[in-house]
């Protein structure tokens, strides 16, 4: 039975997390001898872009280019993916762990009577039973989940697998499905994109500020660096509580959990509740004037210094690259 991957896209590009899911699916398929990896993409996106899923390991992309799927109605997405899953005779669905992925995966688990394992970090162990390792407790521990169902849905944690890029372009096939959006309770009347900025949960680089930034009037320093790096901006909880920054930028146990390739923390002490939201980052850089700040223990690189001196220099240095 083949492995199907649900790929997400935004602003005309397939998301990197979905390409990671394709790479995971390819490795899984090779391990299980499960045949080719097929991806499914929904809504408007250029087929040349979808063909790039081949570099990550997909042999084919099924493109359901139905306008009704552009509205982002999750029930419609789940229905479309379920139809493609049955059509290709898949046994496993792989997708990226994300807000959309979570919502679609839960519905698919019911529709396909499948076992759903989320936050997967490794290929399953298939010697004695099918066991999947997943990240739990905001990245502090791992659990091994035994899966007994025939159909399986694996939601892969961001940055947990290496992105493969050496495959050939995938063949893209347009598929027409019978999806009636009127059947679904959710109606999206209109959508509005708040800013042109990089979205925090998806960002590959995050520059985050804490109380050490002293006030909202100084956030230009964080934004300048973020702009040069193509990064999203984040903040600690007190910063959003006081109203220096909007709540959707609050990172941590009670806020957004991020897993970027690079997390730069400026004037943040590194309380355990903040670390819970960032400890899946690949590389953490801490800028703090207190050499004893707990965040340095979690840092890959640290700069002991005043943010108001370090940030402008760092931004200039990035500009000069
Ligand atoms: P502070 O602790 O005040 O630290 C400021 C840091 O800035 C210090 O390390 C200081 O040395 C440094 N600094 C000061 N001036 C400068 C300068 N000029 N240059 C460089 N560095 C400077 N917090 C979160 O962030 N996310 C959460 O999700 C979260 N959830 C919580 C849930 C619960 C139930 C509780 C009890 C707390 C939670 N908190 C959370 C709060 C958390 O415990 C900390 O209080 C908070 O993270 C501290 O924020 P901060 O580091 O910005 O501020």
Q: Which residue intervals of the chain are DSSP H helices?
A: 16-32, 47-51, 74-88, 99-112, 219-229, 237-241, 272-275, 307-319
- The Cα 141–Cα 150 span in angstroms is 27
ipTM for the complex shown: 0.99
Each residue's pLDDT tens digit, 147-190:
999 999 999 998 889 899 998 999 999 999 988 877 887 777 77
Angle at 180 between CA 179 and CA 182, to 5 degrees: 150
Q: Would you list the DSSP string of 240-289? A: HHTTSS-GGGBBSTTSB----SEEEEES----HHHHTTTTT-SEEEEEES
- Block residue for tokens 């042999």: 59
State if residue 306 touches ligand 1 by the CB under 6 angstroms criterion: yes
State if residue 241 touches ligand 1 by the CB under 6 angstroms criterion: no
Residue-level pLDDT at 235:
98
Closest CA to 18 of 77, 58, 67, 63: 58
Residue-level pLDDT at 192:
67
Written as tens digits, the pLDDT of the chain (321 aa) is 899 999 999 889 999 999 999 999 999 999 999 889 999 999 999 999 999 999 999 999 999 999 888 888 899 999 999 999 999 999 999 999 998 999 999 999 999 999 999 999 999 999 888 999 999 987 789 999 999 999 999 999 988 898 999 989 999 999 999 888 778 877 777 776 655 567 888 889 999 999 999 999 999 999 999 999 999 999 999 999 999 999 999 999 999 989 899 999 999 999 999 999 998 899 999 999 999 999 999 999 999 999 999 999 999 999 999
Instruction: Give the atom of ligand 1 at the shortest distance from the alpha carbon of 254.
Output: 28
- The Cα 16–Cα 96 span in angstroms is 9
**Contact (Cβ atoms closer than 8 angstroms) between residue 7 and residue 25:** no
- Residue 224: phi and psi, rounded to 5, are -60, -45
Q: How far is the CA of 239 from the centre of ligand 1 (A)?
A: 8
Name, in order, each residue with C-beta under 8 angstroms of 151's C-beta and a sequence gap of 6 or more: 91, 92, 93, 112, 113, 114, 115
Instruction: Give the atom of ligand 1 at the shortest distance from the alpha carbon of 268.
Output: 51
Residue-level pLDDT at 193:
64
- Block residue for tokens 């347009």: 174
State if residue 288 touches ligand 1 by the CB under 6 angstroms criterion: yes
State if residue 19 touches ligand 1 by the CB under 6 angstroms criterion: no
Residue-level pLDDT at 116:
98
**Contact (Cβ atoms closer than 8 angstroms) between residue 287 and residue 303:** yes
Residue-level pLDDT at 14:
96
SS3 of 171, please?
A: strand
Residues placed in the known binding site for FAD: 211, 267-274, 288
State if residue 289 touches ligand 1 by the CB under 6 angstroms criterion: yes
SS3 of 183, please?
A: helix
Q: How far is the CA of 134 from the centre of ligand 1 (A)?
A: 29
Q: Best mutation site among 206, 211, 214, 290 for ligand 1, i.e. most ligand atoms within 8 A of its Cβ?
A: 211
**Contact (Cβ atoms closer than 8 angstroms) between residue 164 and residue 151:** no
Beta-sheet pairing, 301-304 with 283-288: parallel
Each residue's pLDDT tens digit, 259-290:
899 999 999 999 999 999 998 899 999 999 99
């Amino acid at each position: 039975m083949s492995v199907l991957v649900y790929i997400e896209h935004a602003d005309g590009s397939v998301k990197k997390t979905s390409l990671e899911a394709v790479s995971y699916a390819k490795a899984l398929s090779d391990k299980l001898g499960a045949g080719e990896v097929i991806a499914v993409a929904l809504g408007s996106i250029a087929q040349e872009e979808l063909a790039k899923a081949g570099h990550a390991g997909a042999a084919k992309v099924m493109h359901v280019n139905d306008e009704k799927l552009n509205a982002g109605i999750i029930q419609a997405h789940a229905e479309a993916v379920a139809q493609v899953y049955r059509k290709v005779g898949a046994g496993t669905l792989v997708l990226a762990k994300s807000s959309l992925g979570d919502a679609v995966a839960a519905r698919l688990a019911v529709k396909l009577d499948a076992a759903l394992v989320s936050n997967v970090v490794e290929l399953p162990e298939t010697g004695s039973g099918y066991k999947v390792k997943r990240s739990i407790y905001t990245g502090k521990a791992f659990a091994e989940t035994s899966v007994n169902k025939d159909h399986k849905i694996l939601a892969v944690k961001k940055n947990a697998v290496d992105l493969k890029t050496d495959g050939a372009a995938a063949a893209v096939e347009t598929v027409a499905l019978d999806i009636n959006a009127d059947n679904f309770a959710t109606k999206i009347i209109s959508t509005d994109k708040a800013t042109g900025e990089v979205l925090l949960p998806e960002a590959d680089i995050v520059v985050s500020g804490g109380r050490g930034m002293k006030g909202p009037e100084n956030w230009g320093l964080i934004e300048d660096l973020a702009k040069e790096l193509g990064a999203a901006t984040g903040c600690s909880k007190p910063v959003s509580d006081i109203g220096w920054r909007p709540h959707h930028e609050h990172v941590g146990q009670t806020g957004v959990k991020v897993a970027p390739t690079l997390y730069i923390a400026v004037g943040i002490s590194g309380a355990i509740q903040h670390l819970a939201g960032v400890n899946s980052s690949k590389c953490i850089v801490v800028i703090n004037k207190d050499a004893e700040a707990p965040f340095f223990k979690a840092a890959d690189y640290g700069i002991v210094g005043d943010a108001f001196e370090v940030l402008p220099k760092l931004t200039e240095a990035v500009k000069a690259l």
